[in-house]
Amino acid sequence: MTPRSPRPRDRGIPEATVARLPVYLRALQGMAERGILTVSSEDLATIAGVNSAKLRKDLSHLGSYGTRGVGYDVDYLVYQISRELGLTQDWTVAIAGVGNLGRALANYGGFGTRGFRIAALFDADRRVVGDEVAGLVVRHIDTLEDVVGSEGVSIGVIATPAASAQGVCDRFVEAGVTSVLNFAPVVLNVPPAVDVRKVDLSIELQILAFHEQRKADGQAPPEAGWIDATEKT
Amino acid sequence: MTPRSPRPRDRGIPEATVARLPVYLRALQGMAERGILTVSSEDLATIAGVNSAKLRKDLSHLGSYGTRGVGYDVDYLVYQISRELGLTQDWTVAIAGVGNLGRALANYGGFGTRGFRIAALFDADRRVVGDEVAGLVVRHIDTLEDVVGSEGVSIGVIATPAASAQGVCDRFVEAGVTSVLNFAPVVLNVPPAVDVRKVDLSIELQILAFHEQRKADGQAPPEAGWIDATEKT
DNA sequence: CCTACTTTGTGCGTACTTTCACAAGGGCGT
DNA sequence: ACGCCCTTGTGAAAGTACGCACAAAGTAGG
């Protein structure tokens, strides 16, 4: 097998790194818009809220795209990260559940930057079907299979009540969707070939509550940790 | 064994464990409602979507609340996890930004189960101020400091546009909020004593896109990996 | 060309997580 | 009361992730 390119990108970029690449990407895109041409790992790390060594190691997984003594070319890095994340092609998304959350998602302009196209909105409630939301007509959930097939949807977003989530998920998967983003508070069951990511408000709050309790439990240093902590720029 | 050491709960429960406790809790509450009295680590792990050894180790951090040969008492475990997460007391929450997302959050009934009380909704747009959302009157963002102080808000939720997020965050922190849940696509800067958790839709999608691309890259096994779902190499 | 300076890329020790595998403990039938 | 069988709780191993500290590699200036 002849290696097509000089990049060492083997098949294993650590999950932890993958999860941070979007953060770097967003920071870099902001810089690009402001006309910044070059950035050091130190500066980019500060903006992204991480350690600079970690940033460099993360980027090193994509290849050696920096110049020693100078830093990274902003535009080039934007391109490389985009490509690595698969954003140079468009992904087709469908959203199931057009309640408050579904609408919020549908209207979430541009879905990040670009790279994602919302192809359809589904709901089971006939009072909602036919409404126009974010420029799309809401379709009945029973047309899911047809639409997913014809539109080539690869990512399904579940914004339904918890009770319907697994059912909708099964239908997505059966129709050929291979990635699911789940906002319903349930653990979804899928075949191993399907990726699921979960966003769960109440879990996040509970984690915060845990730490909040810890702060209170420990002691109550009258006003400590406040003043000497502020200086962080 | 130790006669008088009811809980070994030292001050260090691993973060990874804390993040899973809410999942266990939800599963257990569901079982409690269905009248199930006892559950084994194996069964609970399956429902929660984790390995049973991991579940047992997680629970062991709270103390020895299981009975060998039998399993865990559902109600008792619900209580212990709730207490550990700090859900036996009420936390006061304020939401900034009453757009689509803010409304969705405000209407997200019960915020998990209970333990969280939404005390106020804020927005900068005077066309929204005064509206009633989820039983609360939307207040102007300039009253944030007063309300946070008088209501004793400890958790602030940021559902504003990205541009306003850091500003709102600073005001929350200045007013005494010590935990922040951020839905805006920016990295927030806070003093070390403040906890921040981030929920970012576009990051989740990008992570899915990465894996989606990987699947496509590798090859396209026509219908493989569906039923016979072994692990990947 | 050579020296001084800057910033990347990474080897390595440390800490955290996950998973295995099994001894210890407890209920239950006889 | 006894022993069988089940499930917990946990050492220890394996796998990941993090961050320091520094050599390598490039720029800039004389």
pLDDT one-digit tens code per residue, A27-37: 999 999 999 99
- Stronger pLDDT, B147 or A229, i.e. the higher one: B147
Q: Quick one: pLDDT at residue B218?
A: 64
- Stronger pLDDT, A113 or A82, i.e. the higher one: A82
Residues A182-208: what's their mean pLDDT? 96
Specify the residue for token string 């199931």: A96
pLDDT one-digit tens code per residue, B119-148: 999 999 999 999 999 999 999 999 999 999
Q: Quick one: pLDDT at residue B12?
A: 85
Q: Quick one: pLDDT at residue A120?
A: 97
Q: Quick one: pLDDT at residue A232?
A: 29
**Architecture of the CATH domain B91-202:** 3-Layer(aba) Sandwich (3.40)
| Regions in chain B scoring below 50 on pLDDT | 1-10, 220-233
Q: Quick one: pLDDT at residue B187?
A: 97
Q: Which residue of B has its CA nearest to A23?
A: B203
CATH 1.10.10.10 region(s) of chain B? 15-85
Phi then psi dihedrals of residue B204, to 5 deg? -60, -45
Residue A167 annotated as part of some ligand binding site: no
> Residue A118: pLDDT band by 50, 70, 90 thresholds?
very high
Q: How far is CA B159 from CA A22, A128, B104, in A?
A: 20, 25, 10
Q: Quick one: pLDDT at residue B219?
A: 54
| CB A69 under 7 Å to nucleic chain C | yes
Closest among A176, A163, A178, A188 to A97, alpha carbons compared = A163
Q: Quick one: pLDDT at residue A219?
A: 52
Q: What's the Å distance between residue A2 CA and nucleotide C9 C1'?
A: 26
Q: Quick one: pLDDT at residue A151?
A: 97
Q: Quick one: pLDDT at residue A114?
A: 79
Q: By the CB < 8 Å criterion, does A226 face chain B?
A: yes
Chain B residues 19-48 with a CB less than 8 Å from chain A = 19, 21-23, 25-27, 47-48
- B68 and B56 Cβ atoms separated by less than 8 Å: no
| CB A71 under 7 Å to nucleic chain C | yes
Contacts of A22 in chain B (CB under 8 A): 200, 202-203, 206-207
Q: Quick one: pLDDT at residue B8?
A: 44
Q: Quick one: pLDDT at residue A78?
A: 97
Interatomic CA distance for residues B121 and B98, integer angstroms: 7
| Token representation of residue A62 | 């994509």
Q: Quick one: pLDDT at residue A111?
A: 65
Contacts of A178 in chain B (CB under 8 A): 212, 215
CATH 3.40.50.720 region(s) of chain B? 91-202
Strand order in the sheet with A179-182: A132-133, A136-140, A116-123, A91-96, A155-158, A179-182, A195-198
Q: Do A212 and B179 touch (CB under 8 A)?
A: yes
Q: Which nucleotides of C are covered by protein (CB under 7 A)?
A: 5-11, 16-21, 24-28
- Stronger pLDDT, B10 or A50, i.e. the higher one: A50
R_g over Cα of chain A: 22
> Residue A12: pLDDT band by 50, 70, 90 thresholds?
confident
Q: Quick one: pLDDT at residue B112?
A: 54
Nucleotide minimizing C1' to CA distance for residue B72:
D8
Q: What is the CATH number of domain A15-85?
A: 1.10.10.10
Nearest protein residue to the C1' atom of C5, measured from CA: A69
Q: Quick one: pLDDT at residue A229?
A: 29
pLDDT one-digit tens code per residue, A138-181: 999 999 999 999 999 999 999 999 999 999 999 999 999 999 99
| CB A167 under 7 Å to nucleic chain C | no
Q: Quick one: pLDDT at residue B108?
A: 86
Q: Quick one: pLDDT at residue A230?
A: 26
Interatomic CA distance for residues A155 and A95, integer angstroms: 9
* Side chain identity, residue A87: L
pLDDT surpasses 80 at A2: no
> Residue A227: pLDDT band by 50, 70, 90 thresholds?
very low
Q: What's the Å distance between residue A112 CA and nucleotide D7 C1'?
A: 47
Q: Which nucleotides of D are covered by protein (CB under 7 A)?
A: 5-11, 16-21, 24-27
pLDDT one-digit tens code per residue, B214-227: 988 765 443 333 32
